Structure formats: structure tokens, C-alpha cells
Amino acid sequence: MTTVHRDLADEYRAALLGYVAAPDEMGRARAYELGHRAVEAGMGLIELVGVHRVAVDEVVAETPSRAQVAAAMDFLTESLSTFEMAQRGYREAQERAAVAHDIALTLQRSLLPAELPAIPGVERAVRYLPAGPQVEVGGDWYDVVPLDGDRVGLVLGDVMGHGIRQAAVMGQMRLGVRAYLLEGHAMDDAVGRTDALLLSLGGTQTATMVVGVVDVGAATLRLVNAGHPPPVLVEPGGGARFVLGGHGRLLGLPPPAERPVLGPVPLPPGSCLLMYTDGLLEGEERAGGDGLDRLLATVAGFEGTPDELCDHVIAALVDDVPGDDICLLAVRLVDCRPRG
């Protein structure tokens, strides 16, 4: 027991003795004051009850009267009322935080695509797992953009940090890169323009992003990676490898950087491409493992739909309550040619 707690205990015993001898409103006010000081001094509830127990032994006769017992209980009740108020305030703060988190999560969701477009020859699936309520909303996003020439754009990004600002920046970036791709800009130019957009928003905000363009007819993939974890390609038969190359620095750092383009890389029918944000790797890496190695081992030998792949990866790598937002985007080319 600290010196402050010992002094409080001595005052408590003296005040209890006076109250048991002559209960009055001043004595009750003194009990409340001592309880309030105990909370401020960091004295726990159990510790204060222990002080009361020792004080009762000292100030109440061996055979206490009913009035003495009642007075001692009244004194304890008053002294504990501050603890009850503090606990109620904590619960209310937790409830307000949960409501604020739900509102922020609703805002974040509204900035993401309402649904993925149907694209002939392409199966697609997405999973978005927000972090637990103890973590503010993040800036993860995804998009699937139908393009001309039998092509489809795939975008996955992550604004660094958590909070409403990051979610708002995410929404602007998602719409920006989508617009640049739809306007017909080359992939590297679209990423460069998105980089410039992020810089123009100010606030020294950074982000990672990977953009892929699949040519469905030619069964090929082109890719630009701005500081993002590499996508993984699961080939027909279950062979798995990371799609490396086309890698440049993250977004939001001046001056403008070159954006190398990987590809075209063959993407035969039956191949499944998985893009993800770094929250997927966090659990394994917190445990001291290598998240990328674990991911590759998890998908190796997998044969199934994009939906099944997402569920398989989540079951293997994600905790019940993620410590960070997690986004997965999986696509698979299917052979739509008529069979003779």
C-alpha cells in the first residue's frame, strides 16, 4: 500500500468511527468524499472494501448493535458510490465509442463498391473484414473496373493509418484511379495520376496500391505495384507463386516516381489471382512468423472458386477479431469457348 493509500485508510477509519457513533449527513458526505479521493488516487474497489473491513473490526464493538451494522454499511455504500459513477461513465463512454465506430464503418462501407460487376469469362470474389471496435476504421479499398477491349481493371489499395481522414482519402483515391482507367490512361499513367492526386490532398498521407489489368480474350495480366504486398497466382493444378515485378515505391512521396509495368503475364483459364492488403499477414507476423511464406503455403495445392479461395485463406490466416482491416480480391478466368 502506498503512502497516499495508507493516509486515506487512516482517514477512512477515523471517519467511519465518527459516523458509527453518530450517523448524520456530514458523515455521509465525508464517506462520499473519501470514496472520490480513493478513485483519484487509483485505489481499487477491492482495496477500499479491505480498508473498510479492517476499519469495521477496529471501530465496532465485539457484539455490534443493528444500528452500528447499518451505519457501517451506509458508510461503505456512500464511499463506493463514486466507483459506481466511474464505472457507469466508463460503460457510457464505451457505448458512445461503439456507436461512433459503427457510424465510421458505415461511412467507410459507403465509399466502397456496392457490388462487383458481372464480367463474362471472369469469376470474382471479395472479402472485407474490418478490424475490431478497438481500432479506428482504416483506408483499405478494392475495385473492379470493366474496360474496353475485353479487359478488366483490378485495384486494391491501403491508405496508411486509421481514422475518418484515412477513410475519406481512400474514397477519393478509389474514385480517382477508377476515373483514370475509364478515361483510357495507360496503367502506369493512371497510377502516376493517382499519386499526384494523393499529394494534392496534403497532410503527408501515404498509401500502397496494386493495379492489374486482365485481358480476358488474350488470357494475360499486366500489373503495376506501388509498394503493395505482391499478389499470388494459383495456377491450374494448384501451383502457387507470387506475381513479382512492376514494383515501385508507395504513393504520396514527392517527387513523382516512375511506375514500371509488369507483363503481359500469361493467365491461363483456371488460374486464380489473389490480391490482399497487409492486414492479412499481420496475425502470422505478430506471432513471429513470415506472413508471405504462410500465405503461399496456405494457397499451394488449392483448386476451387474465388469465393472458396477467400474463405480458405481467411480460415487459415485471420484471427476471430482482426487487429487491422483486411481486404481480399480474387479473380479466376474461366474458359467460355464453345465445346465441339
Contacts of 197 (CB under 8 A, 6+ apart): 172, 173, 176
User: Quick one: DSSP state of residue 240?
Assistant: E
Collapse the DSSP code of 334 into the 3-class scheme (helix H, G, I; strand E, B; otherwise coil) and give the result: coil
pLDDT tens for the chain, residues 1 to 340: 688 888 888 888 888 888 888 888 888 888 888 888 888 888 887 787 888 888 787 766 566 678 888 888 888 888 888 777 776 766 766 666 666 666 666 666 666 787 888 899 999 999 998 876 565 667 889 999 999 988 999 999 999 887 778 888 888 999 999 999 999 999 999 999 999 999 998 878 899 999 999 999 999 999 999 999 999 999 988 899 999 989 999 999 988 788 999 989 999 889 999 999 998 998 888 888 899 999 999 999 998 999 999 999 999 998 776 778 899 999 999 864 444 4
Q: What type of residue is 159?
A: V
CA 82, chain centre distance (Å): 34
The CATH superfamily assigned to 115-333 is: PPM-type phosphatase domain (3.60.40.10)
Separation between Cα atoms, residue 69 and residue 291, nearest integer Å: 62
Residue 124 neighbours by CB under 8 Å, 6+ apart = 116, 144, 306, 329, 330, 331, 332
Taking residue 7's Cβ as centre, other Cβ atoms within 10 Å add up to 13
Give the residue from 171, 189, 201, 200 showing the smallest Cα distance to 226. 189
Domain ranges in the chain are: 3-104, 115-333
Strands (E), the chain: 122-129, 138-147, 151-162, 207-215, 220-226, 232-234, 240-242, 247-248, 262-266, 272-276, 326-333
CA neighbor of 252 nearest in space, from 176, 142, 303, 334: 176
How many CB atoms are closer than 10 A to CB 1? 12
